[in-house]
Amino acid sequence: MSETKNSERAPAASAEPVLDLSRRKLLATVGGVGAAGLALGAAAGAGGYAAVETPDDTSPLASVGSTQVMFHGKHQAGISTPLQSTGHLIAFDLAPGAGRKEAAALLRRWSETARALMAGEPTSSGDTGVALDAGPSSLTVTFGFGHSFFDRTGMADRRPAQLDPLPDFSADQLDPKRSNGDLWVQIGADDALVAFHALRALQRDAGSAARPRWQMNGFNRTPGATEKPMTARNLMGQVDGTNNPKTTDADFERRVFVPDTGQPAWMANGSYAVVRRIRMLLDTWEKLPLTEQEQVIGRKKSNGAPLSGGTETTKMRLDAFGPDGKPVIPANAHARIAAPEQNGGAAMLRRAFSFHDGIAADGTPDAGLLFVCWQADPLHGFVPVQRKLDRGDALSPFLRHEASGLFAVPGGPRAGEYVGQRLLES
């Protein structure tokens, strides 16, 4: 697993960040309160997995800035680590003539840059200074390989079957130019400048080896904006992420990560990311009365509680019927249709960013969800659930799936290793 560390540290420009462990409290899991990094973990619904260090009162940086996520670990950072307030998703294609050797050199460069920036250090070549003064700010950089990468590098025989293209869904309106790609990078941080700094550094590192294919920018709530840590809200106003698998669940690892002994061996402790740019038809959605909006999801908008009663964390009672004889959580409610118990146990870890790219040509807001979900096998996670949603989800008329990607995200690098080394050098 990747670890999160909340430390007082020298400004980002310093080559030697100060990590004075003797002056910090180590908080093991989500059980504690008071640390911004920890609070975020609880709020994200995708986090709280990592060890968090809190600074003492003399910290020169606010705790948001000083929170650090470890680059090395069993899993890559940015999967089960807390969701951040700024995200960039970017796919690259290898340049004509670039193959396995160039890809290996690129992953080596990218890994060193990610390691340095996640530690709050400047990059080793020509740091742009954009993140000067800021701490690591929970920066995570996560790397993945797309289906086409294996053809481009002459390694088609090493491609996992899990990367087979996703099936077509009837409601898809996908733009191929904004879909897939040889390589994929997910950047997240709790400071927009820190995130942008990392994005630029990685783009520059790509040099002549790879070219950006598409880029998407997203956001979530800023840590500290709410009175207490809360699950995120999306741009439809719903509490979104409640029923995510929890890192404390006995089957969390099995659902989200390829086992140690999994195949192919280079994917051990890795995960598969499905990325969808889902436009929300907000002009239509916002006209829907509140009670109907709640029926569409099956949960209350105010606090995310199931319509069958209780609080946000109360289990949905899918077998509850109202006095009218109808199910309290409608048969086509999104949360019912997507629930693992309705899909043979299929589950995924959703870790999304909202996006807003201004006004589209048709005059409507170009806004929605950069849906990213993580699973050990997309055929037992995203695919069956999306198949079912595609057939009769009450939310579908308010959505448009505009872009799609599927990426193999290898396990975390060991010290001295770069991401993907076990694929590229064995």
Ligand X SMILES: C=CC1=C(C)c2cc3[nH]c(cc4nc(cc5[nH]c(cc1n2)c(C)c5CCC(=O)O)C(CCC(=O)O)=C4C)c(C)c3C=C
Q: What is the set of active-site residues?
A: 240
Residue 422 C-beta: closest distance to ligand X, Å? 29
For ligand X, the closer CB: 131 or 395 = 395
Question: 295-324: which residues touch ligand X (CB under 6 A)?
Answer: 297, 299, 304, 316
Would you say 84 or 421 has its CB closer to ligand X? 84
Contact status: 327 vs ligand X (CB under 6 A): no
CB of 371 to ligand X, least distance (A): 5
State which residue, 255 or 334, has the beta carbon closest to ligand X: 334
From 340, 365, 377, 417, residue interacting with ligand X (rule: CB under 6 A): 340
Q: How far apart are CA 252 and CA 234, in angstroms?
A: 24
SS (H, E, C) the chain: CCCEEECCCCCCCCCCCCCCHHHCEEECCCCCCCCHHHHHHHHHCCCCCCCEEECCCCCCCCHHHHEEECCCCCCCCCCCCCCCCEEEEEEEEECCCCCHHHHHHHHHHHHHHHHHHHCCCCCCCCCCCCCCCCCCCCCEEEEEECHHHHHHCCCHHHCCHHHCCCCCCCCCCCCHHHCCCCEEEEEEECCHHHHHHHHHHHHHHHCCCEEEEEEEEEECCCCCCCCCCCCCECCCCCECCCCCCCCCCCCHHHHHCCCCCCCCHHHCCCEEEEEEEEEECHHHHCCCCHHHHHHHHCECCCCCCECCCCCCCCCCCCCCECCCCCECCCCCCHHHHHCHHHCCCCCCEECCEEEEEEECCCCCEEEEEEEEEEECCHHHCHHHHHHHHHHHCCCHHHEEEEEEEEEEECCCCCCCCCCCHHHHCC
Q: Does residue 282 interact with ligand X by CB under 6 A?
A: no
Measured CA to CA, the distance from residue 273 to residue 133 in angstroms comes to 33
Q: Which stretch binds ligand X (CB under 6 A): 11-19, 97-105, 126-134, 382-390?
A: 382-390
Q: Which is nearer to ligand X, 28 or 331 (CB)?
A: 331
Q: Binding of ligand X at residue 339 (CB under 6 A)?
A: yes
List 240, 256, 266, 409, residue binding ligand X (CB under 6 A): 240
In Å, how far from its chain's centre is CA 330? 29
Check binding of 238 to ligand X (CB under 6 A).
yes
Identify residues 125-164 at the interface with ligand X (CB under 6 A).
Answer: none
370 touches ligand X (CB under 6 A):
no
Report, in Å, the least distance between residue 179 CB and ligand X. 15
Q: Does 216 bind ligand X (CB under 6 A)?
A: no
Question: Is the CB of 78 or the CB of 368 nearer to ligand X?
Answer: 368
* 190 binds ligand X, rule: CB under 6 A: no
Judged by CB under 6 A, which stretch of 85-93, 155-163, 166-174, 241-249 contacts ligand X?
241-249
Check residue 300 and give left, alpha or beta (phi > 0: left; psi -120 to 50: alpha).
beta
Which of 49, 371 has the CB closer to ligand X? 371
Q: Tell the smallest beta-carbon distance from residue 199 to ligand X (Å).
A: 24
Tell me how far, at minimum, the Cβ of 89 lies from ligand X, in Å.
Answer: 15
How many residues make contact with ligand X (CB under 6 A)?
27
Give residue for tokens 């989800």.
393
Q: Does 242 bind ligand X (CB under 6 A)?
A: yes
The answer to the question of residue 335 lying near ligand X (CB under 6 A) is yes
Stretch that binds ligand X, among 93-101, 153-161, 166-174, 335-343 (CB under 6 A): 335-343
Selected binder of ligand X within 87, 241, 264, 420 (CB under 6 A): 241
Binding residues vs ligand X (CB under 6 A): 234, 236, 238, 240-243, 276, 278, 280, 297, 299, 304, 316, 334-335, 338-340, 368-369, 371, 382, 385-386, 389, 399
